[in-house]
Amino acid sequence: MGPDTEKKSLDLFNLVLVLSLLACLGFGVLYALERYHLKEMKDAFREAEVVIPKIRALAESVAKLKAKERAGGKVTDAHDYIEKYIEVGGSLSKDDFNFRDGERPPDRRGFQDHTVTVTFQQGRKNRKYLSRKNIFNILFNIESQSNQFRIGRLKMMAKEVAAGFGKRGKKDPRELSDLWLVREIVVVRRTPAKVIKKGAKGRGFTRRKVRNR
């Protein structure tokens, strides 16, 4: 085997070695990319496991809300909703409070507030005092469990004030207890204002007008 043959064999060996190194480098890059993509897919899968149940719960809530709107849900439908959270959060019974419905005039933007005023027993024999934690639970649950309702007003007084301390010779207590007499809670639900339909004679169409203040 002559010098030329040995040189060609060496060149071929070097070429094969270079190609092998390039192939190893390429496979290394591909492997790193695949590991990166695999990590991304695992992260996405873990995130989906958290997000999907939330989406399902929201979808169910939206479906229930739409079904209620299609059924023509009114403010009176809110009684059961509010009653549940007052009884749970305040450990009260149905006999301890009453409901009164109301409507405010539509605003200039075409929205109208429907109100449910919850009044509580004020007689000395029937009074039920609640802690601030109980009151917070009631208000928080009413607002957080549905995006339809908001607390519009809260009236309450400390037990000592309700009991008449500071009047008729009763000395004020040195400190107040964490007991409160809730007098009134106003829950507000905002909806588009009612639409008045007026038919135009002989026209075959209906004119819609929103009453504003």
Q: What confidence tens digit (pLDDT) does each residue in 112-138 have?
A: 889 999 999 878 777 889 999 999 999
Q: Which two tokens stand for residue 176?
A: 């107040």
Confidence of residue 2 (pLDDT cuts 50, 70, 90): low
Q: Can you give the pLDDT at residue 93?
A: 86
Interacting residues of 125 by C-beta distance below 8 A, sequence separation 6+: none
Residue 64 dihedral angles phi and psi, to the nearest 5°:
-65, -40
Residue 200 and residue 206 in contact, taking contact as beta carbons nearer than 8 Å = yes
pTM of the full structure: 0.53
Task: Work out the number of other CB atoms within 10 angstroms of the CB of residue 65.
Answer: 14
Q: Can you give the pLDDT at residue 188?
A: 93
**CATH no., domain 75-196:** 3.30.70
For the stretch 57-116, pLDDT in tens is 777 776 766 666 555 444 447 898 899 889 888 888 888 899 999 998 888 888 888 999
CB under 8 Å, gap of 24 or more: what pairs does 157-165 form? Answer: 157/181, 157/183, 159/129, 162/127, 162/129
- What's the rounded Cα separation, in Å, for the pair 97 and 119? 5
Interacting residues of 203 by C-beta distance below 8 A, sequence separation 6+: none
- How many CA atoms lie within 13 Å of 41's alpha carbon, on the beta-carbon side? 6
For the stretch 149-200, pLDDT in tens is 999 999 998 888 887 765 665 666 677 788 999 999 999 988 887 655 555 4
Task: Residue 97: name the closest of 77, 114, 117, 124 by CA.
Answer: 117
Q: Can you give the pLDDT at residue 212?
A: 44
Angle between helices 132-144 and 78-90 in degrees, nearest 10? 150
- What's the rounded Cα separation, in Å, for the pair 62 and 198? 32
- For residue 100, which amino acid is it? R
